[in-house]
Structure formats: structure tokens, C-alpha cells
Amino acid sequence: MRTASGWFKTEREGERLRVIAGGSWETGALAELDGGLRRLAGEPVRIAAIDLSAVDSMDTAGAWVLYRTRRDLRARGVAAEFEGVDRSFADLLARVEEGDVEQTLVRDRLHPVIALIAHIGEVSLAAFHECASLLSFLGVTVITLGRSIVRPRRIRFTSLVSHIEQVGLTAIPIVGLLSFLIGVVIAYQGAEQLRQFGAQVFTVNLLGNSMLREMAILMTAIVVAGRSGSAFTAQIGTMQVNEEVDAMRTMGLDPIEVLVLPRVLALVIALPLLTVLADLTGLAGGALATVLVVDISLAQFMERLNNAVPLAAFWVGIVKAPVFGFLIAMVGCREGLMVVGSAESVGRHTTKSVVLSIFLVIVADALFSIFFLYIGV
């Protein structure tokens, strides 16, 4: 795109119009010329001649505006012709004429009200299909899992171990640190509140029970959903975009078995282990805060913990971990497989994967609470 300017001038004699164009008619110079030419096309004349003999250079956009002017004049019944056209420009003008076909550049838009109603309908249907497809994916995963357990040789151990490393081992620092801090916060806040009743020693009960039963596992699950659930979606989604998953299917490999199962198993194994770690660091953080704020020694803290917190509290937390791990991995993998086409779709499904898995984890946690209340643990 070279920037030198083109120009045109007009001469009118009665019903005859003469347009003399010159200079360089290139994309960069058209901003000023375009408006004038459009007005020109509306002139009330019968015969028009567009003289191009002074034009030095022309590109397709320049040829287009000239051609369009002639076309619009002719459409109004004006006998419009080019004059003094250089051979190479004639070629370009012919090309441009060929390229003048009716195109729709934007998709049709619906009336806003209808669009709103249609949108509500679509969203409701989508939510319904979402539930159905989640359930069906759950079923497929469980069946494939069952088949693999019957024939353990089908489990891809290398992949499984590598995923356990990625979701478990490398998550240790962040999970440990976060639950340590949560432990400190619970103990400190608890001690503050309980002091008002002179019941500061009960800080240990509060800390032990809430940490083991709820906080450690929930924290861990949420961190893992954000870290690994999203990673699963992005990995599988990118493979989906590159048609790798389709290639896999055509080679007789089952994506559920190859991609989903190792990830699901990895989280089912890693999440309980991470929860134990979170229990320990959470209690450590709590112990630190308690010893500093409440006036008891570490030995007293340990003894109190031993008496006040039943072993069942620990098991209640741990039992939930594999279930949460399963949910997170399943949602992550399914969103990955739902990706279609573009990089944007990968992003959308990754977000959805995190939101949906955290949502499901909390719903499941609520159901567990009701269940444990019912059986009295």
C-alpha cells in the first residue's frame, strides 16, 4: 500500500458528465475519494464518461471504487463508460467486475424479543441436555472403569503415574500452604469468639473437627479443580481441536480408556493423599495459632486433640475425597471432549469445567453432610 494521493474532477455540460481521474488510486488514498464518488453516482445526467488516462497507479480497492461508480450510474440508466483506460488497469477493472457478487457479510439478526425468547428456550434445553449428557458420560466412564478393573492390563499405567505426579505431587506445596493458613485462621478466629465465653480451650475441638471433616477436603478439592480439572479440559480440548481425538477413534483407540480413565484414576488416588496432607498441615497451622493465642502448650494441644476429636472425623473427610476426585476429573475430561473447532471453544469449556466441578463438589459435600447426619457420624 503506497501513499500518494489520487484525485478526480468533474465537468458538466447539460446532461453530459465528464469525470477526470488521475494520480494514484490505492487503498491508502481512498478515504477522501470514496465519499465524493458516491455523491457523483447520484448526479442527474444521462451520459457519463470517466476518463482514466491520467491515472498513474491503481490497486484492487481503487479499481473497485471506480467500477462501483460506473455500476451505480448505469443502474440509474446513465450511459457510463470508462475512457483512456490503460491495458493493465482494464484487466484489473475486469477482475473487480467479476468479483462483484452479492455477499452477506453479517448473519441475519432476529427481532430482539423473539431472540430473547429463543435464547431462553435454547438455554433451558441446553441445561437439560447438559444434565443428561453428564449422566451418560458418568455411565460410560463407570462402565469403562469396570471393564478395566476386570482386565487390569488395559489400564495405561505409564500415563496413570504421570498424571498422579502432575495432579498430586506438584500440588503438594500449594495445598500444604493453603491449608496451613486456613488452620491458622480458623484457630485464631475461633479463639477470639470462644474467649467471650471463657471457653478458649474448645478452640481445639473447633479446629480439629472443622478441619478434618470439611475444610481440608473442600480446600483441596477446590484447588485441584482449579489446577487440574482445568488442565484436563485444556489438554483434551486442544487435542480435540487438532482432530487428535478423531484420529484416535479411527485407529480403534477408545478416548475414554486412553484419555479419561488415567486422569480419573489419578485424581481418585491423588485427592485422598492430598487431603491427608491438608489435614496435617491444617492442624499444624491451627496448633501454631492456638499455642500462640491461647495459653496452652503443644503437649496440652495434642492431648486435647486426642480426646476431643474422634477418629471418625478424619474418615468422614477422607471418604469424600475419591468421590470429589472422580467428579472433578470426569467434568474436566468431559468438557475437554465437548470442545469443537476453535481455540475460543477451549477457553470457554475450561472456564465451564472449573465452575461446574466446584459446583458439583459443593453439592456432593452437602449430600454427604445430610447422609452423615442421618447415620449419626
Burial class (CB in 10 A: 0-12, 13-18, 19+), 2: exposed
**Do the bridges between strand 47-58 and strand 16-25 make them parallel or antiparallel, or are there none, so unpaired?**
parallel
Pick 241 or 355: Cβ nearer another protein: 241
- Report the C-alpha gap between 308 and 320 in whole angstroms: 22
Other beta carbons less than 10 A from residue 62's beta carbon:
26
* Rounded Cα gap, residues 136 and 143, in angstroms: 11
Is residue 42 within 8 A of residue 80, CB to CB? The reply is: no
CB of 96 to another protein, least distance (A): 6
10 binds another protein (CB under 8 A): no
Stretch in the footprint of another protein (CB under 8 A) among 16-24, 64-72, 176-184, 194-202: 64-72
Least distance to another protein, CB of residue 65, Å: 7
Q: Does 121 bind another protein (CB under 8 A)?
A: no
- Does 102 help bind another protein (rule: CB under 8 A)? yes
List binders of another protein among 333-372 (CB under 8 A).
340-345
Nearest to 49 by CA among 89, 8, 87, 88: 8
Which of 99, 121, 139, 310 forms a contact with another protein (CB under 8 A)? 99
Q: Which three cell numbers stand for residue 131?
A: 444434565
Region of 72-80, 85-93, 153-161, 232-240 interacting with another protein (CB under 8 A): 85-93
Choose, by CB under 8 A, the member of 6, 26, 213, 261 that binds another protein: 26
* CB-nearer residue toward another protein: 53 or 170: 53
Q: How many helices (H) and strands (E) does the chain have?
A: 15, 4
Segment contacting another protein by CB under 8 A, of 53-61, 73-81, 121-129, 369-377 = 53-61
What is the b/e burial string over 13-31, where b = at least 16 CB atoms within 10 angstroms of the residue's CB? eeeebbbbbebbbbeebbe
Q: Which residues bind another protein (CB under 8 A)?
A: 1-2, 26-28, 30-31, 34-35, 58-61, 64-65, 68, 88-89, 91-92, 95-96, 98-107, 340-345
